[in-house]
Structure 1
Amino acid sequence: MAHSHSYELVHVDSYADTLVIDMSVGPDSITVMTDMDDLVQRVAIRAASDSEDLPAPVSKAQIAEAEAQLGFALHPLLARLYREVADGGFGPDYRLLPLLGPGSSVAGEYLSRREASVGVEHPEWPEGVVPILTWGCAMYAGVDCLSEGGQVLLFEPNPYSGGSWDQCWFLDSASLAAWLETWLAGTGWFEEDAFERDDLIEPQPWDQAAIRLSSGA
C-alpha cells in the first residue's frame, strides 16, 4: 500500500537507538540508513563465520575515548562496525585493528604516525586518516574520517625514495561502504586470486595526497 507521508532521517545517534524523523521531506536519507543497517548486518554475519572468537564490540564510552584521543569523530560507519560487530578481528587479510591499545590499535597507530608527521618538511601521515588494518610490509589501509563517504586509502611506503610522501598514498575505494562490499563479494585487489581476474580494479594514486599532507589536514 502506498503511503502519503515521506520521511527523512535527520538525526541518528550511531551509538544508541535514537532516531528522529522529519515527516515533511523525502525518503532518501532513510534509504541510505536502511542500506547501512543491511551492510553492517552482513558484515557481522561474515565476521562471525570467519572467526569463532571475535572480540566483543566496544562501548559508547570507548568510542568517545578514542575520538577524544584522535581529536575528531570517527566516520559514522566505522564507529558502527566497532560498536555493532566487534573490536577489530574481522575484515580482509590481517583484519581490522582494535580501536584502543595497549598493543597496536587504530588510535595508537594514528597518534604515533601523526606525531612523527608534525613539524617536519615531509609529513608522512595526513590528519584525519585512521589506520584500520595492516597489509604487511609496512602497508596500511586507512579510513579518511574527514571525507563524507569515509574514503579508504592505501599507504604503500616501500617504493619511497625521499621527498614528499604523496607518492605512497593511493585511493582504494571512494567510500568505506563500497570497500566493505568489495570485501564481502571477494573482488578486492587483496584477494589471493585477484590478479587472475580481467575486471580487477587496483588502487590509484590519491589526488588529494599532496595537499592533505602539506596542509596538515
Structure 2
Amino acid sequence: MIPYDALLHDIKVRTSAGLSQVTSDDVAEAERLIGAPFPTLLRRLYLEVGNGGFGPGLGLLGLAGGHTDDLGRCASDIHASHGQWPGRPEHVWALCHWGCAIYSFVHCPSGRIFGWDPNVVEPEDDVPFFEQQYTLETWLAAWLDGSLRQPWLLFEDGDYRGATVAETESAHRGSASDTK
C-alpha cells in the first residue's frame, strides 16, 4: 500500500495553490448524502488539498460549492441526480470528469474505482458502470507517474465491458504513434 502522507505530499507539490478548502462538516454532509464513509484518502484530499480542481482528468470534482464538470455539477450534484445514472452501484462517488461524458467514480468506503463511458453504448442500452483495476491510492499514483488513462468501455461479443489497464495503455501507445 502507498503511504498516504507521501502520496498527499506529491499531490500538493503538483497542485496549484489557492484551492478552496472544505471543513470536516462539509465532508460529513457528503458522507451522509452517499450513505457511507469516504475512503480515508478521499477525506484527506478534500480536507488537506482542496475542494476539487486538481488531479486526473479535468480535476477532482468538489463537494457542494467546489470544482464542477463542464455542465456545472459538483460531485454532490451528480450523486443527487441518481436517476440520470441508471445502474449506478450503491455508494459510488463521482471523482472526475474526463471530457466526452466520461467519468471516474470511487466506491465508498472500499476505494475501488469505477468508470462510466457512454460513447459506445447504443441509445436503447443503459450505460454500464464498470470496475477498473485501481483503488483510489493506485489511481492517484498512476496519475502522478503519468500512466493513468481515462476509463474506456468496449463492446465485445455482444456485451459491454471496461477495458483493462493493459488494453487502455496499448491503445494509447497506438494512437500516440499514429501522430508521429
How high is the TM-score relative to the length of structure 2?
0.72
Match of 2:149 in 1: 189
Match of 1:59 in 2: 23
SS at match of 1:73: coil
Instruction: Give distance in 2, aligned partners of 1:181 and 1:144.
Output: 17
Correspondence 1:39 to 2:3: no
Shift of 1:40: 1.4
Shift of 1:164: 4.6
Shift of 1:136: 1.0
Amino acid at match of 2:78: E
Instruction: Give distance in 2, aligned partners of 1:141 and 1:126.
Output: 13
Higher relative contact order (CA 8 A, sep 6+): 2
Unaligned runs of 5+ in 2: 67-71, 151-164, 169-180
Amino acid at match of 1:137: C
Match of 2:134 in 1: 174
Instruction: Give distance in 2, aligned partners of 1:107 and 1:53.
Output: 21
Deviations 1:20-45 (A, max 9, x none): xxxxxxxxxxxx6x811221122112
**Equivalent of 1:159 in 120, 126, 137:** 120
- Specify the structure having the higher radius of gyration (Cα): 1
Q: Is the 8 A contact 2:116 2:127 kept in 1?
A: no
Correspondence 1:93 to 2:61: no
Correspondence 1:74 to 2:38: yes
Shift of 1:170: 3.3
Shift of 1:157: 0.9
Q: Is the 8 A contact 1:54 1:89 kept in 2?
A: yes
Match of 1:143 in 2: 106
Instruction: Give distance in 1, aligned partners of 2:41 and 2:92.
Output: 14
Amino acid at match of 1:100: A
Shift of 1:52: 4.0
* % same residue: 34
Q: Is the 8 A contact 2:117 2:127 kept in 1?
A: no
Amino acid at match of 1:59: T
Match of 1:6 in 2: none
Structure 2 counterparts to residues 83-122 of structure 1, below 5 A: 83-101=47-65, 103-112=72-81, 114-116=82-84
Unaligned runs of 5+ in 1: 1-31, 118-122, 191-199, 204-217
Aligned residues: 149
Closer/same/farther in 2, CA of residues 53 and 202 from structure 1, 3 Å limit: farther
Instruction: Give distance in 2, aligned partners of 1:175 and 1:89.
Output: 20
Q: Is the 8 A contact 1:172 1:202 kept in 2?
A: no
Q: Is the 8 A contact 1:66 1:107 kept in 2?
A: yes
How high is the TM-score relative to the length of structure 1?
0.61
SS at match of 1:133: strand
Task: Please tell me the root mean square deviation across aligned C-alpha atoms, in Å.
Answer: 2.4
Instruction: Give structure 1 regions of 4+ aligned residues with deviation exceeding 2 angstroms.
Output: 51-56, 162-166, 169-174, 200-203
